């Protein structure tokens, strides 16, 4: 879908989500074509009469039902109008195309899904579920949702779990529309009456939340780890003879390689990412994103096809010297950390490598696979299936050559706790606290905040909960609200240093320097001679124009820490107070430390000191012409 059309649809749906029907109809008018103009006029006329009866004071017991029906019809018309601007990726797979290349499901698709659900094999049913999910994300349809729910009971575990994953995503993305479809709600009540399904859905919810950190992980690996590994390459080449991977001393050389890495600066990072991988985080995106350009991935269905060695795209690789490839087959078919599309990438890339190197890699894989079996505690199989499927979806929306035609679902917040179906996976409110904490640990503070606020409505006064709510407000820059909740926490647990520090910080960030200073003084009594506290007392005093008091704090820092070079912020505020009290030569020496020099002019204009324009010009010129290393060349 063209981005501008996608944006307009989101604007229209946003209006409908807020039940601003008139605004939505006016926005939709910009897109509607002749074929759909009659439907639009019918909705507008009905709404016009509804408004007229309302303001004429006519009693209409059906008014709410009519309004809801108009909202539903406008949602559906918006989908149909926008579908006319969509390009549909072509699929050569008959099973996939039957459920992908249609706008809305008719009896034909419903019957096909029913038969496939009963008799279809693992490959076809898994592809069908992927096709329905993608289709439903583009054009919401009651029957698509019901078909996904039916596939959740499929006899093939992979298919059932993929269906459940797709269902959760669709119910989250289209959460505002579920109220108009009682058949969906009835089906969900039946589906989530199963405790195992509830448990599996809770796992999927956490996996979707975790997927939001993939971009950060990928960026860190690409920018920080891979370049450092590249620097180690010469040492690695010295220790490892690439032509002798199958030699008798391979294990010894491999141990030497591990020693090289262990002694490097990236060792700790690799340990952290290894632990993240064990938890299910996607650390392979940076590697396999480079291997999605093969023609195999030009077909949309190939991003979702379960891995099997008989697939024509990779079958030749497994037919060659079958005995030597047992470790490869085992590595790729056992439960491991590679999603299906990455397995295909690996095999297609491997088939292009000379056979001798393939043997070497096979031996290496055998050793690594055996090591993993010893060291790794394998996750629950169902959790592994859904996690890898989410990774397949992530790669599709990020890397498919026609990705511009799809709205990237991984840009959504996944605020699943706000969706109507959440009550079904949150029996007795036992999941909400865990979900809120999970948002919190993943630093998704906006979602964590709304989850904690929801939790607060039925919780007893709780200092820990108040502090978490306050911290979320703080991280989302709502300092006034953060202060309110930190104060609630302080009433329950008074004089807690951590709470007092955050209260002081939030007051300072919101410009309430007097209140911040009072808290820092209280903190200093509980934890005397802390340099950070003393600096903040000096800074707040300076902002309050209490320059002599501020200087006393800065001199105390110099006394307590005479040998340590202070920060630029310290030098700046020290300089401001010295200038304001007439000690201008000493102030200049403080400003001399500020880097970059080109920003000093701006900093001085924002200082809590009444500098004149001439004062600032003299300071800059003095430093420029008195042997200061500046970043201004040829001033």
Whether the CB-CB separation of 28 and 40 falls below 8 Å is answered with yes
The top-scoring range by mean pLDDT among 271-285, 384-398, 574-588, 591-605 is 384-398
- Number of helical (H) and strand (E) elements in the chain, helices listed first: 33, 0
Total tally of structural domains belonging to the chain: 1
* pLDDT score recorded for residue 328: 65
Q: Is residue 289 part of a domain?
A: no
Q: Is residue 329 part of a domain?
A: no
The closest alpha carbon to 573, from 547, 596, 597, belongs to: 547
Q: Is residue 68 part of a domain?
A: yes
Percent of the chain with pLDDT over 90: 61
Q: Is residue 33 part of a domain?
A: yes
* pLDDT score recorded for residue 68: 95
Query: Does 367 score more than 70 pLDDT?
Result: no
Query: Does 15 score more than 70 pLDDT?
Result: yes
Q: What's the average model confidence in pLDDT over 236-249?
A: 51
Kindly tell me the burial class for residue 1, based on how many C-beta atoms sit within 10 Å of its own C-beta (0-12, 13-18, 19 or more): middle
pLDDT tens-digit map of 303-359: 999 999 899 998 888 776 555 556 666 667 665 678 999 999 988 988 888 776 766
* pLDDT score recorded for residue 245: 45
The top-scoring range by mean pLDDT among 285-299, 372-386, 468-482 is 468-482
Query: Does 365 score more than 80 pLDDT?
Result: no
Task: State the pTM of this model.
Answer: 0.87
Domain region containing 69: 3-83
pLDDT tens-digit map of 455-513: 999 999 999 999 999 999 999 999 999 999 999 999 999 889 999 999 999 999 999 99
Q: Is residue 36 part of a domain?
A: yes
What angle, 0 to 180 degrees and rounded to 10, lies between the N-to-C axes of helices 142-151 and 157-173? 150
Q: Is residue 46 part of a domain?
A: yes
Query: Does 633 score more than 70 pLDDT?
Result: no
pLDDT band at 250 (very low <50, low <70, confident <90, very high): very low
Q: Is residue 77 part of a domain?
A: yes
Q: Which has the higher per-residue pLDDT, 391 or 267?
A: 391
Who's near 342: CB < 8 A, 6+ residues apart? 284, 288, 291, 391, 395
Q: Is residue 78 part of a domain?
A: yes
Neighbours of 248 (CB within 10 A): 7
Least confident of 85-89, 410-414, 534-538: 85-89
């Amino acid at each position: 879908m063209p981005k501008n059309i996608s944006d307009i649809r989101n604007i229209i749906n946003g209006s409908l989500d807020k039940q601003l029907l008139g605004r939505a109809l006016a926005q939709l008018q910009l897109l509607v074509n002749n074929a759909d103009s009659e439907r639009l006029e019918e909705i507008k006329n009905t709404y016009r009469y509804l408004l007229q009866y309302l303001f004429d004071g006519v009693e209409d017991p059906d008014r709410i039902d009519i309004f809801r029906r108009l909202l539903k019809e406008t949602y559906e018309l918006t989908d149909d109008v926008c579908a006319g601007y969509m390009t549909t990726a072509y699929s050569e797979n008959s099973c996939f195309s039957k459920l992908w290349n249609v706008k809305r499901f008719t009896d034909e698709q419903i019957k096909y899904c029913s038969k496939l659900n009963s008799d279809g094999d693992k490959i076809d049913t898994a592809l069908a579920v992927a096709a329905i999910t993608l289709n439903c994300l583009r054009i919401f349809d009651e029957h698509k949702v019901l078909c996904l729910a039916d596939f959740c009971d499929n006899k093939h575990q992979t298919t059932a779990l993929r269906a459940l994953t797709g269902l959760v995503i669709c119910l989250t993305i289209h959460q505002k529309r579920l109220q108009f479809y009682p058949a969906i709600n009835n089906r969900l009540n039946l589906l989530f009456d199963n405790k195992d399904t509830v448990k599996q859905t809770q796992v999927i919810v956490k996996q979707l939340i975790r997927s939001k950190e993939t971009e950060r992980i990928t960026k860190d690996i690409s920018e920080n780890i891979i370049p450092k590994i590249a620097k180690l390459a010469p040492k690695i080449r010295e220790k490892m003879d690439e032509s002798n991977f199958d030699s008798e001393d391979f294990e010894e050389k491999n141990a030497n390689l591990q020693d090289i890495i262990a002694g490097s600066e990236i060792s700790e990072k690799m340990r952290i990412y290894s632990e993240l991988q064990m938890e299910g985080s996607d650390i392979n995106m940076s590697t396999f994103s480079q291997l999605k350009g093969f023609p195999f991935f030009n077909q949309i269905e190939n991003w979702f096809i379960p891995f099997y060695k008989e697939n024509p795209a990779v079958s030749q690789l497994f037919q060659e010297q079958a005995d030597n490839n047992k470790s490869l087959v085992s590595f790729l078919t056992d439960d491991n950390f590679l999603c299906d599309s990455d397995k295909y990438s690996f095999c297609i890339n491997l088939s292009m490598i000379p056979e001798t190197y393939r043997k070497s890699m096979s031996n290496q894989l055998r050793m690594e696979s055996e090591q993993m079996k010893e060291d790794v505690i394998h996750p629950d199989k169902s959790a592994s299936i859904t996690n890898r499927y989410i990774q397949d979806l992530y790669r599709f929306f990020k890397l498919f050559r026609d990705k511009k035609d799809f709205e990237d679902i991984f840009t959504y917040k996944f605020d699943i706790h706000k969706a109507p179906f959440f009550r079904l996976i949150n029996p007795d409110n036992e999941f909400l606290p865990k979900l809120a904490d999970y948002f919190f640990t993943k630093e998704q503070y906006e979602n964590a905040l709304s989850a904690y606020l929801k939790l607060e409505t039925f919780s007893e006064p709780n200092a820990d909960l108040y502090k978490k709510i306050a911290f979320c407000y703080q991280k989302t820059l709502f300092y006034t609200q953060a202060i309110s909740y930190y104060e609630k926490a302080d009433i329950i647990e008074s004089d807690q240093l951590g709470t007092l520090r955050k209260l002081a910080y939030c007051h300072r960030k919101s410009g309430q320097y007097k209140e911040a200073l009072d808290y820092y003084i209280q903190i200093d009594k509980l934890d005397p001679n802390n340099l950070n506290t003393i600096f903040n007392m000096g800074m707040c005093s300076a902002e309050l124009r209490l320059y002599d008091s501020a200087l006393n704090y800065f001199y105390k820092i110099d006394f307590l820490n005479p040998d340590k070079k202070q920060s630029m912020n310290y030098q700046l505020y020290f300089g401001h107070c010295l200038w304001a009290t007439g000690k201008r030569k000493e102030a200049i020496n403080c400003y001399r430390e500020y880097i970059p020099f080109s920003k000093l002019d701006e900093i001085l204009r924002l200082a809590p000191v009444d500098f004149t324009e001439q004062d600032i010009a003299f300071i800059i010129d003095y430093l420029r012409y008195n042997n200061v290393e500046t970043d201004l060349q040829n001033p």
